[in-house]
Amino acid sequence: MKQVILITGASTGIGALSARALAAAGHTVYASMRDTQGRNAPRVQELRDFATAHGTDLRALELDVLSQISADAAIATILAEQGRLDVIIHNAGGLVTGPMEAFSPQEIEHVFDTNVIGAQRVNKAVLPAMRAHGSGLLLWVSSTTTRGGFPPFMGPYAAAKAAMDSIAVTMSYELTRFGIETSIVTPGAFTRGTAHFPNAGKPADLATSAAYARYDGLMDQVGARLSALTPIGADPQAVADEIVRVVGLPAGQRPFRTVIDFIGDGAREVSAIAEQVRIDFARRIGIDDLLSIHAAA
């Protein structure tokens, strides 16, 4: 069934791959990003070229998740053009690396603003319409750092992803009685195919970073080891393909969480246990009707 979909952070990486894959699957896709008429204008043109070449309904949309005004305007545009919005894919986010001590509180706030509060702004804009319609899907692009092993020097990013993941779980209970589903797609580390690590932000406090010189080369060592562990052919397109699969499933039959991990960081195993604990606890406290929209219906 054709869906109207908004994906945040769709200029590059998993967001861009997912936007194209969803459009190719026959959905109407709004690929949102910042500064569509400035630095991301080439990305917008790439989307238009793809849509023309493949005959898809793929549209670039201005949306800065750091601004409630921007989020409200983007959602209003989609609703005006389509009359509904079926799926929100919370993908916008940014990686930072460096010693935790070196990050200023303001830098950490910015990471959380992008990776956590940004999703809340979009939800504030879209959920009234979804609740009124009585259906919808919030699909959250999480990270195996929330469940599996991960190296040091990723502190603000890992903390923000864990916070976002926790909010996704909380909101899943709060939305089922409105017919709104939640699905969390959890990618592992990809050393090839995205600019996630090359484009990672760094703390401005160079002096404190330099004080950690005894760790110099560690992240390069970790990166090399991750590359060695990654099978040939492992590609972030697999995440986009999983998003297409989840979106395409009938309402009420979508998985709560899936893990796309090629290196075996333990997130799949931990997630399976955590999900069973979540279900069992919900039953013990009498809220198991909130585990799915079918149960709520």
Q: Is 38 exposed, middle or buried (0-12, 13-18, 19+ CB in 10 A)?
A: exposed
CA distance 224 to 227: 5
In the set 161, 172, 209, 271, the catalytic residue is: 161
Residue 172: active-site member: no
Q: Is 219 exposed, middle or buried (0-12, 13-18, 19+ CB in 10 A)?
A: middle
What are the b/e assignments for 178-216, b being 16+ CB within 10 Å? bbbbbbbbbbbbbbeebebeeebbebebeebbeebeeee
Question: What's the distance, CA 233 to chain centroid?
Answer: 22
| Residue 284 identity | R
Give the E-state strand segments of 235-294 in sequence order: 257-260
In the set 70, 157, 209, 271, the catalytic residue is: 157
In the set 142, 172, 209, 292, the catalytic residue is: 142
Phi, psi of 260 (to 5 degrees): -115, 95
CA distance 50 to 18: 13
Residue 32: active-site member: no
In the set 11, 32, 70, 209, the catalytic residue is: 11
Residue 161: active-site member: yes
Q: Please count the helices (runs of H) and the strands (runs of E) in the chain.
A: 11, 7
Q: Are 2 and 10 in contact (CB under 8 A)?
A: no
Residues with catalytic roles: 11, 142, 157, 161
